[in-house]
Structure 1
Amino acid sequence: MKLYNPLITILLAINIAACGDSQKDKENYFSFDENNLKPIYQATDKVDLSLLNTKNKSIDSVAYFVNDKRISSVKGNGKFVLDLSGKKLGYQNIKALVYFEGDTISAKTRVEVASGIVPKLLKYTIVNTYNHDVDAFTEGFEFYRDTLVESTGQNGKSYFAKIDYKTGKAYKKVDIDQQYFGEGITVINNKIYQLTWQNETGFVYDANTLKIIKTFKYDNKVEGWGMTNDGKKIYHSDGTEKIWTMDPETQKLTDFINVYTNDSKIKSINELEWVNGKIYGNIWQKDAIAVINPQTGAVEQVLDLSALRAKVTNKDAEVLNGIAYNKKTNTIFVTGKNWDKMFEIKVNE
C-alpha cells in the first residue's frame, strides 16, 4: 500500500491555485457581442460594438483597431461606434485590445461592408453587328487607336491579334507559348500588357511591332483574368471580387478594390474596360456587365446583355466576355468566347 504525504498534497493544491487561469483561458474572458452585429452592412452605416465580459473583470480601457490600424480607445468597457463612411468595401477586421487588472487580452471579429448604392439598369441599342471568329476564346478586348486588339485563352491555342473589326479577321497575330493560358490585355504608353491565367506570369509587347519587350512575374499569388487602364494605372481582375491596380512601369500590384452591390459582393469579375471614368466588368458565367466605381468598387449600374447572347448562332458559344470602348464613336463593342458575332452598341440610361 502506497502512503501519501498530506503536506505534499496541500502544497501541490496551493501551487495549482496560484497559477490561476492559463493564457488560453484568458483569451475567453472577452469577446465581441455577435448578436449586435448584422450579416452585412452598407458603406453609410455605423456599427455598434460592445464586448462581453464573461468573468466580470475590471477593465481599465479598450483600444480598437480596424485592419490593424488603431482608430480609437474608450475607458472601461464603454461601447464604441464604428463609422463605415470612407471604409473600403468588403471585410473589415476589427480587434479590441483590452487592458484589465494589469493584463492585456485581445478580442477579434469582422464585419462585411457592401455599397450604399442600388445599381441602376442601363439600356442599349444595337448600332452594328459584325462577324467574330468562332475559334476565338475571347479574354481581352480593347481598341488601340482605330484597331481592335483581342487576346484569347486555352492552353496551346492562346494568342493575341490586331483585328479588322468590320470583317472580324486578324491581320497581325502573336501566338503564346503552349504552356500559357492567355488572359486579359490592355494598351498603355504604346505597350501591350498581357496576363496569363494561373502561371502568375505576364508579358509586355511593343504595341506597333508586337515584339516582346519583357516577361514579368506577379508580385502577389493571384490569377490573371481581365485588364484595362485609365491612362496612368492598369486595373487587373483575378477571378474574385477584387480588382487590383498595377504600376505599368514596375508591374507591381499596388492596391485593390472589392466589387459590391448594395447587398452582396460580385465574384468572378472578368474582362475589364475603362469607359468615361468607370470600369465596365464582365461577370463570369453571367451575360451582364457591371459598371464599377474605380475608387470604391461600388457597382453603380448594370447592363443586361442576355438578349445579345440569344442572337449568337454558334452552338458552342461560351459566355459573354469582351468589352472594347471606341472613343471616336462613343460606342462599345461586345462579344463572347467562341461567339460568331460582335455587337457595336450605344449605352444610355
Structure 2
Amino acid sequence: MKKYNFLSVILLGIALNSCNETKNIQNSVFSIDNSKFKLQYTPNDALDINIINSNSKTIDSIVFYVNDKKIASNKGNTPFKLDFKDQKLGFLNVKAIVFFEGQNSEATSSVELVSNIQPKLLKYTIVNTYPHDNAAYTQGLEFYRDTLYEGTGNGAGNGTGIKGISSLRKTNYKTGEVYKKVELADQYFGEGITILNNKVYQLTWQNNEGYVYNADTFKKEKTMPYFKKMEGWGLVNDGTHLYMTDSSETIHILNPETFKPIDQIQVYSLNSKVAAVNELEWVNGKIYGNVYQKDAIAVINPKNGAVEAIINLADLKKKITQLPDTDVLNGIAYNPKTKTIFVTGKNWDKMFEIKITE
C-alpha cells in the first residue's frame, strides 16, 4: 500500500489513483527485461536495463533513449544503468535500439518516476489588503514595470448572476482602478496571462488559441493556435520560455514565438500526481501554482515537477465579502520591487499582499 502525504491530499487534492503499471512491449528479436522493475522509482534510485537476447544474436551495440532523448550507447550487450537524478518526474518511456548482424531492432518499456520530497508547509502574513473588482473572474495576474495586469474570464459578478465579459486589464492595485482594458468577444473565454518582451500572452479556455498583445497599447499582434487540442488554463514565463497548464498534471514548456512545445514537466507531490494546476507565477526560480478548487498554492520545481512546498490560504476566503458569485482562490502575482506576493480569487472583492515565510 502506498504511503500518502495526507497534507498534500487535503490541500492539493492529489489524484490517488495514478496509474502504476510497467509496460513491456515484446519484440520478435529482443526485449527489455523488466522482471525486477518496481512500480515506482524516485530520483535517488537507479535502474539496471538488461536486454533479453532469446535468439542468441550477435549484438554490435545498443543505443538507449528515455522519452526519445538519447542518453547512452554501449558496445555489445552490456547492461545499462539508468540514473534517475536528472530525469523529470512522470512516466519514462525507455527504448533500446539494438544493432545486430547488419540489422537493428527496437525494444521498449516504461517506469514511473515520482518525487521523494516531502512538501513543506509555508506560512504567510498579510502585509496589505486592497480592493479588487468583484466582477473580475480572475484567470491571470502578473506585475510588469510596477503595474498589475489581470486576465479575466466570463464569470458572473456583483451578485447579479449576469455573466461578465472576458478581458485583459491594466490596474492600479492599490485602488482597484482599471487604467486600460480590452474585452474579448462573447464566444471567447479568457484564461491565464503572462508578459514577456513587452508582449502580453493570453490563453483561451476551449477555443484552442492564444493571443499576443502589445503590453503598452493592448493592440492584438498575433493569434497563435495551440499545438494540439487541449484546454488553456494557467500561463507564466521564466524570461525565455512560456509554461502553460491544461487542467491536468502537465505543464507544457513552449516557444513564445511559435507556441510549439519544447518540453514538459509532470507535477507530483511525493508519489502522486497533482492535477488541475491552474494560474501560475514565477517566483525566485520556482513555479507557484494555484490548484483549482483548492485554497492552496503549490511551489513547484520547474526542472522536474516536484512539489517542494504548500501555502495554505484557506483563511483568506473568510476575509472577503461572500457574494452569490464569489468563487475559488485564483490569481498569484509576485512584485519583485516589494518581494511580496499578491493573491486574489474569482469574483473576490479584495486582493491580499502577503509575505511568505517558512
TM-score of the aligned structures, taking structure 2 as reference length: 0.79
C-alpha spacing 1:79/1:277, structure 2 compared with 1 (3 Å): closer
> Is 1:346 the counterpart of 2:331 in the alignment?
no
Q: Deviations over 1:42-75 (max 9, x none)?
A: 122112334667xx54354473432233624475
C-alpha spacing 1:104/1:208, structure 2 compared with 1 (3 Å): closer
In structure 1, the partner of 2:267 is 259
Q: Deviations over 1:262-293 (max 9, x none)?
A: 32222222111111222111112221111122
In structure 2, the partner of 1:58 is 56
Q: 1:202 aligns with which of 210, 216, 235?
A: 210
- Considering only CA atoms, is the larger Rg found in Structure 1 or Structure 2? 1
In structure 1, the partner of 2:72 is 71
In 2, Cα distance between equivalents of 1:46 and 1:245 = 26
Query: Do the aligned residues in 2 keep the contact of 1:65 with 1:72 (CA within 8 Å)?
Result: no
Deviates more, 1:319-328 or 1:233-242: 233-242
> Is 1:183 the counterpart of 2:191 in the alignment?
yes
In structure 2, the partner of 1:247 is 255
Query: Do the aligned residues in 2 keep the contact of 1:59 with 1:99 (CA within 8 Å)?
Result: no
In 2, Cα distance between equivalents of 1:82 and 1:226 = 33
In structure 1, the partner of 2:170 is 162
C-alpha spacing 1:74/1:304, structure 2 compared with 1 (3 Å): farther
Query: Do the aligned residues in 2 keep the contact of 1:36 with 1:49 (CA within 8 Å)?
Result: no
C-alpha spacing 1:187/1:29, structure 2 compared with 1 (3 Å): closer
Deviates more, 1:30-39 or 1:202-211: 30-39
In 2, Cα distance between equivalents of 1:35 and 1:310 = 53
In 2, Cα distance between equivalents of 1:205 and 1:27 = 51
- The correspondence of residues 315-326 of structure 1 with structure 2, limited to 5 A, is 315-326=324-335
In 2, Cα distance between equivalents of 1:247 and 1:49 = 34
- Amino acid of the residue matched to residue 56 of structure 2? S
In structure 2, the partner of 1:234 is 242
**Secondary structure at the counterpart of residue 319 of structure 2:** coil
Q: Deviations over 1:229-265 (max 9, x none)?
A: 2333332222222223333344433222222233222
Q: Deviations over 1:115-141 (max 9, x none)?
A: 343222211001122222222211000
In 2, Cα distance between equivalents of 1:238 and 1:206 = 24
In 1, Cα distance between equivalents of 2:323 and 2:37 = 49
**Secondary structure at the counterpart of residue 36 of structure 1:** coil
Q: Gaps spanning 5+ residues in structure 2: where?
A: 1-25, 156-163
Structure 1 residue 220 displacement after superposition? 3.8
Aligned pair count reads 321
In 2, Cα distance between equivalents of 1:226 and 1:255 = 16
TM-score of the aligned structures, taking structure 1 as reference length: 0.81
In 2, Cα distance between equivalents of 1:218 and 1:57 = 46
**Secondary structure at the counterpart of residue 81 of structure 2:** strand
C-alpha spacing 1:139/1:49, structure 2 compared with 1 (3 Å): same
C-alpha spacing 1:32/1:285, structure 2 compared with 1 (3 Å): farther
Structure with the bigger RCO (C-alpha within 8 Å, sep 6+) is 2
